[in-house]
Structure 1
Amino acid sequence: MDQRGFFRPPNAWVGDVIPWEEDGRFHLFYLHESRQVPRIGMPWHRVVTDDLVTFVETGPALPSGGPDAADFNVYTGSVVVDGGIHHVFYTGQNPERIGADGLPLQVVLHATSDDGMRTWVRHPDDTFGATPGYETADWRDPFVFRDDEAGVWRMLVTARHADGPERRRGVIAQCVSHDLRTWEAAEPFWDPRRYIAHECPEVFEWNGWWYLVYSEFSESFTTRYRVSRSLHGPWQVPENDTIDGRAYYAAKSAARDGRRFFFGWISSREGGRDDGAWQWAGTLSVLEAEQNADGSLRFHPPLELSAGFGERLDSAASGTVLSAPDGYADLVLPTDLPAAFRVDAVFDIAPGTTECGLLLRASADGDEAYVLRLEPRRNRLVFDRWPRRRTGGEQWQISGDVPHVIELERPVTLAPGPHRLEVVVDGDLCVATVDGSVTLSTRLYDRTDGRVGAFVGEGTATVLSLEITGPSTTAVPAASLDDALVSS
């Protein structure tokens, strides 16, 4: 794909990402989803990037084990290095192999590389399934890390208790090892009895704080995190514990030069339509995390992505006042925009204002558009669109009782005063950020062109700045990735 700062392989989609940083380069292993029917077995592919903007696919990394193998589907796992040898631990699943609970068995498998992750050797004798007390069909996403204080390797595993309420059996199970070959069951790492499952778990330490990250699909479909002063908890729930909204999933992280980046996927929608059902897998998207004093995190796209937009396309006059004490007012800029652009807007929101925000790919009169709406009275950002879905031909048969796209709502503090709303649109992708701390990612399918506007509803908002830029005409140098292509 041509999108800069995002990645999707030709004729396929990016599933869960397994990030690994080494010598300044990010190696992003990912589940390569072809959506072929009949299924052909899930492999890992690898993408590399130095700048978080240019991604180079190096091809298959860990192929399907074949139709008869335990790892017909190669699902999520993790990478570690020990003594110069790279190890991957990953999930294997074969629909033809049924566990004790009557569902397709999931097992943990092991492979190693001694040539810099170019080739991998499987170790089938190291394979193991769920330990006693857990469902055999949910034993996946092994995350391995070194606990130097205890002198052991720890493995976190997405699991479910064998008994208990059906939707609250989720647990992060734990195994320990001294040699990365033999694993013993240990006490659960985290057992809240709250979710169906905690997918793609990871833990890391950052400036004296420990973080537990996981993705859940119970009440919400999202990636969450917890924070603690100790690897062993107790784990605290931050005020806003989600990384993004419904469309961004299975995010896992890697660090470089004191910065930490999360690599997840923006889900596609069935049929490439705004009303299509969300699908598993989509397009790789990167978010950067920053720390607050209390250990909580704020999220935004990497600065490298924003820096790639430098060609001025349009702007609004600074100080433009949009005022409608008991109504609606908007300003639509005159330029029809290309497929990729960035909006950087600052609104000074007056006390008592109900809503304000941006119109994307708007009609000339602003009546039809995608809408990013800041709602100070509810302290949230929502994604909306007009026209909404129609259920019939009558004027009243429109989804006016749906306040916004329900899954796309983000909590954010919106006290009176200035607030910054940054948006990157590239083709059907959209990533919005409020005040450099709260992100909302989604898809824009049905409207492929149009203008940008600003609006206010029941109140006053002063547009302190509104700048629209396009991708820089200067190409990003790719020479630093040449050796990755040669070595693939």
Structure 2
Amino acid sequence: MPSINEVPTPPPEGTQYSRPSGAQASADAIPLLVDDNYHVFHLTTPPYTRHHPPRLRSTWSRLRSTDLVTWGRDPEPVIRPGNVASSPDADGAWTGSAVLGPNGNMEIFYTGYNLAQNGKQVILRTSSKDRHGSSFDDTAKIISIHGEGLSQFEEIDFRDPYVFFNDAEQKYWMLVATRLAKGPHWSRGCLALLTSNTLDSWEVDSQPLYAPNDMFCPECPELFSLPNGKWYLVYSRFHAPNAGTVYRVAENPRGPFRIPRDGSHGRLDGRRWYASKSCPKSRDPSKRIYFGWIGDYVDDEGKWLWGGDLGVPREVSADGRGNLRVDIAEEFRILLHNAPSLSSPSIVAQSLNISSLGSKRTCFPDFGTEAQTQDSFVTFNIGACDANSFGLVLQADGTEKGHQLVFTPSGNGLFSVSLMTDFPPLDDFWADQYSLHLRRPVDGPELVRHDSVSIDAGVSILLRNQLVEVFCGGRSLSWRLPLDLEKWKCEEAESTGHRLGWFVNDGTVSLAGITIRSLDNVGKTVL
């Protein structure tokens, strides 16, 4: 066993980052930085599963990196569900957190799920004998909780523990996602606070840490401070309003936690970049590195699934007003900007001017066959704009129908940025008249939206198979497009479809510095 100061040998490189295998999905991330080593645990679905309960009988996988670029994956799960029906985690080892304990060794706290006990959730603890978690106890134990405050919460939803050491109070804090036992049914979601001196026994605070009276149940919470002195409470919401990972701001760790006036209501992205959690950036305490997943979708059922692909590592920091900003992790961005260009040699200036007065115009520049059919990294800048709106069309078919990334000027050089569905469903009367009975998904037609965004620094878009990740002005927008890239090549690329195009609506826009780079050389250890 390594000593307390030794760094264990990393797992073999060459394994896939975004998901453990084609048959399994990645889900809730649990990052921890130890001695400049990133440990990213995440939940993993059983192979070839789709829905609850089989899909949520999850294990814990681990990725490791020292540079946020090249990742190795542990060959075996770190935590597996219990193998007997009476095990508290028999039906899933769910979300939790990793932390260094008082002795400097790694500890994991996680949620155990058992259907035989009416779906009851308990918090389990497993310990390692070293700080890098080379191995953990064979059997996890239910933590000891005491205090009269426990009675104020429901028994079923009591999960997703987040543990950290609060220097100001010299105690370990644990945030638990739960629901109040009394109050309006649909808005009792809250976060309980438990404290401990040693991690062995936990006392429930007499009041919930956070009870906003506007959600059913929070998920995957975390709490941290930045050098600006502010505290940030981050959690995920699986329902409107503002579904996805959100943050709140306070002057001290006990709140009150306020909704930021940042143009996004505290959303870091949208509904489909989910259960996102972070750790400090190595050697830069002013930043956090975030990891979240973009869900799988089943066409033959018309359903989104729990779990999917991990999005690229994201760097989050606070601006001068204390609002959080999201961008691609700098190390990864440098790698992307060094990737070879896919643009056609015939396009020299890499600029585009589109004009259409009083109407909408869409164009599909010829950037070459490879740009149409390969995973790519697209960047561009806005030279000038006097249009009502402009943007990109993604996976357009022969009728020019496709998802749209829309930029709408909002004054003072700022924009509203939104990701739109390819075709919104119609009211029954119009659907009957035109025989266009489209499904009515929980998303859309506006999938993700951010207001008051400055795009002076340009726009970056990652296209990985079906995944779209957009970064601009400290905001991100993520989605999974309808068609797999291989299917796209067969059905659209060789006919009249276009993977990428631009449009303008009533006005003129000038785009500059357009580049399309190949992601093929980046490799699976990064993506």
Same fold (TM over 0.5): yes
Question: Please, what TM-score do these two structures have when normalized by structure 1?
Answer: 0.86
The aligned counterpart of 1:27 is: 39
Residue 250 of structure 1 and its aligned partner are, at CA, apart by: 0.5
User: Is 1:270 aligned to 2:298, yes or no?
Assistant: yes
Residue 45 of structure 1 and its aligned partner are, at CA, apart by: 1.4
The aligned counterpart of 1:202 is: 222
The correspondence for 1:244, drawn from 269, 281, 292, is 269
8 Å CA contact retained: 2:421, 2:447: no
Cα distance, 1:3–1:161 mapped onto 2, change above 3 Å:
same
8 Å CA contact retained: 2:260, 2:323: yes
3-state secondary structure, aligned to 1:190 = coil
Residue 278 of structure 1 and its aligned partner are, at CA, apart by: 2.0
The correspondence for 1:190, drawn from 210, 215, 228, is 210
Residue 398 of structure 1 and its aligned partner are, at CA, apart by: 7.1
CA distance in 1, matches of 2:253, 2:302: 41
The aligned counterpart of 1:49 is: 65
Residue 5 of structure 1 and its aligned partner are, at CA, apart by: 6.6
The aligned counterpart of 1:235 is: 257
User: Is 1:175 aligned to 2:175, yes or no?
Assistant: no
CA distance in 2, matches of 1:155, 1:15: 21
3-state secondary structure, aligned to 1:167 = helix
Letter in 2 for 1:146: F
Letter in 2 for 1:287: R
8 Å CA contact retained: 2:245, 2:273: yes
Out of 384-393 and 4-13, give the one that drifted further.
384-393
**Which structure 2 segments of 5+ residues have no match?**
1-12, 490-497
Residue 70 of structure 1 and its aligned partner are, at CA, apart by: 0.6
The aligned counterpart of 1:124 is: 141
Deviations 1:444-482 (A, max 9, x none): 23263444322211111111221111126476999xxxx
The correspondence for 1:62, drawn from 74, 79, 84, is 79
8 Å CA contact retained: 1:61, 1:119: yes
The aligned counterpart of 2:516 is: 468
The aligned counterpart of 1:420 is: 458
Residue 50 of structure 1 and its aligned partner are, at CA, apart by: 2.6
Letter in 1 for 2:125: H
8 Å CA contact retained: 2:145, 2:201: no
8 Å CA contact retained: 1:333, 1:451: no
Cα distance, 1:123–1:411 mapped onto 2, change above 3 Å:
closer
CA distance in 2, matches of 1:266, 1:345: 24
Question: Please, what TM-score do these two structures have when normalized by structure 2?
Answer: 0.80
Residue 217 of structure 1 and its aligned partner are, at CA, apart by: 2.1
CA distance in 2, matches of 1:213, 1:296: 13
CA distance in 1, matches of 2:524, 2:125: 37
8 Å CA contact retained: 2:20, 2:44: no
Deviations 1:296-352 (A, max 9, x none): 11112223333333211117645532111201223312123233001111123434x
The aligned counterpart of 1:371 is: 404
CA distance in 2, matches of 1:419, 1:357: 16
Pairs within 5 Å for 1:17-416 = 17-34=29-46, 36=49, 39=54, 41-58=57-74, 59-66=76-83, 67-72=85-90, 73-82=92-101, 83-98=103-118, 104-115=119-130, 116-121=132-137, 122-124=139-141, 126=143, 131-186=150-205, 187-207=207-227, 208-220=229-241, 221-239=243-261, 240=264, 241-255=266-280, 256-258=282-284, 259-271=287-299, 276-285=302-311, 286-309=313-336, 310-314=339-343, 317=349, 320-334=352-366, 335-336=368-369, 337-351=372-386, 353-362=387-396, 367-377=400-410, 379-384=415-420, 386=422, 397=436, 405-406=444-445, 408-413=447-452
8 Å CA contact retained: 1:8, 1:284: no
Residue 249 of structure 1 and its aligned partner are, at CA, apart by: 0.5
CA distance in 1, matches of 2:516, 2:432: 37
Cα distance, 1:339–1:44 mapped onto 2, change above 3 Å:
same
Residue 277 of structure 1 and its aligned partner are, at CA, apart by: 2.4
CA distance in 2, matches of 1:453, 1:202: 39
Residue 399 of structure 1 and its aligned partner are, at CA, apart by: 6.3
Structure with greater strand share of residues: 1
CA distance in 2, matches of 1:429, 1:268: 10
Residue 181 of structure 1 and its aligned partner are, at CA, apart by: 0.6
Identical columns (%): 27
Cα distance, 1:49–1:441 mapped onto 2, change above 3 Å:
same
CA distance in 1, matches of 2:271, 2:445: 9
CA distance in 2, matches of 1:400, 1:214: 30
Letter in 2 for 1:462: S
The aligned counterpart of 2:4 is: none
Residue 20 of structure 1 and its aligned partner are, at CA, apart by: 0.9
Letter in 2 for 1:118: S
8 Å CA contact retained: 1:85, 1:113: yes
CA distance in 2, matches of 1:245, 1:223: 7
The aligned counterpart of 1:486 is: none
Cα distance, 1:219–1:400 mapped onto 2, change above 3 Å:
closer
